Amino acid sequence: MKRAIFPGSFDPLTLGHYDIIERGAKLFDEVIIAIGVNADKKYMFTLEQRKKFIEKAFANNNRVKVVTYKGLTVDFCKEINVDFILRGLRNPADFEFEKAIAHTNRDLAPVETVFLLTSAKTSYISSSIVRDVIRNNGDYTKLVPKSVRI
């Protein structure tokens, strides 16, 4: 069984994340959306809200599972016996950043990183942009799945 984790903070889940997860679920038998917990980071949404947004968005997809974790992603991969990390790339800056992480992860554990390019229609969306739109009372509903529309 080929399993991959898709790690992130998902604060909140965006249509870009949704697209990568849907496409990843066609490539892997199981995609585990791994919500990382970072005590030093200030989130707009609670861990419970973020988990609920994702669970609701993928309620009808039995290949997608949602979990939370602390610590290094590669350590979590070893803990749950996962060989692949799934990541989305929006632009060249994402690639350079993610490439360095992928090389580091491969040095730390026998884990491969698989990159998917975001679709053209979602390549401009990021969680930080969504948070800014929400903070400024803008229409964020075009940027997130229905499960995130609060």
Active-site residue identified among 17, 50, 51, 87:
17
- The verdict on whether 90 is a catalytic residue reads yes
Mean pLDDT over all residues of the chain? Answer: 95
Output the pLDDT for position 39.
76
Instruction: Assess whether 17 carries a catalytic annotation.
Output: yes
Interhelix angle 73-80/92-108, rounded to 10 degrees, is 50
The catalytically annotated residue of 78, 90, 106, 131 is: 90
For 52-105, the pLDDT digits (tens) are 999 999 999 999 999 999 999 999 999 999 999 999 999 888 899 999 999 999
- Judge whether 127 counts as a catalytic residue: yes
Question: What is the percent of the chain with per-residue pLDDT over 70, rounded to a whole number?
Answer: 100
Going from N- to C-terminal start, the domains of the chain cover: 3-148
Q: Parallel, antiparallel, or unpaired for β 112-117 and 84-89? A: parallel
Considering the domain 3-148 in this protein, what is its CATH number? Answer: 3.40.50.620
Q: Which two tokens stand for residue 8?
A: 């992130």
pLDDT band at 40 (very low <50, low <70, confident <90, very high): confident
Tell me, what amino acid is at 6?
Answer: F
pLDDT value for 5: 98
Distance between CA atoms of 99 and 9, rounded to whole angstroms?
A: 19
